[in-house]
Amino acid sequence: MAGTISTYITFNGNTAEALKHWQDVFGGELNLMTYGQTPMEGMPFDPPADALAHGVLSLPNGGLISGGDSMDGEYPIRDTAYSMLYNAESVEDGREKINKFVAAGGEETMKFEQAPWGGSYGQVFDKYGVMWSISAE
């Protein structure tokens, strides 16, 4: 099997909430496991039982977004040094995803429109501060 690249993101206590939001936007199957659901012997830290140990959102297109709660403080999320890239099935699909993010409290920071390379492209920050780049051929 060839190697793949997936996204893993960490929030300070609300990773499960973010994964559920992304499931609302993109669909897919979500599996969540708290520390209370794991055998906690041998952990190098003492996590709260309700903290997310590991979550995986399996997207309908085969992509994965995984994550877990931070155990050591704040992580800076909102930045433009990185983004999650969604390659939309169509221009309409791209607009729909941006509209869902905005309706849920996100902010469109680059209008989704014709890009110089021929497709359509735009950017939106979701309500968790994650920048989503949306692209469509």
pLDDT digits (tens, 9 = 90+) for 36-86: 898 877 777 788 889 999 999 999 988 999 999 987 766 677 777 788 999
CATH code, 7-69:
3.30.720
Question: What local confidence, expressed as pLDDT, does residue 5 receive?
Answer: 78
Q: Which of 126, 128, 132 is CA-nearest to residue 112?
A: 132
The pTM for the full model equals: 0.85
Residue 128 pLDDT level (bands cut at 50, 70, 90): very high
Question: What local confidence, expressed as pLDDT, does residue 75 receive?
Answer: 66
Residue type, 71: M
Question: What local confidence, expressed as pLDDT, does residue 114 receive?
Answer: 92
**Domain 84-136, classified CATH 3.20.20.80, yes or no:** no
DSSP 37: G
Q: Is the pLDDT of residue 121 over 70?
A: yes
Residue pair 54/36 in contact by the 8 Å Cβ criterion: no
Beta bridge partners of 68: 10
Question: What local confidence, expressed as pLDDT, does residue 80 receive?
Answer: 76
Please report, for the chain, the start and end positions of each structural domain, with discontinuous segments joined by +. 7-69, 84-136
Look-up: residue for tokens 């390379």? 117
pLDDT digits (tens, 9 = 90+) for 18-30: 999 999 999 999 9
Could you give the dihedral angle defined by the CA atoms of residues 127, 108, 93 and 104, in that order, rounded to the nearest 10 degrees?
30
Question: What local confidence, expressed as pLDDT, does residue 22 receive?
Answer: 96
Q: What does the DSSP assignment read for 45-58? A: S---TTSEEEEEEE
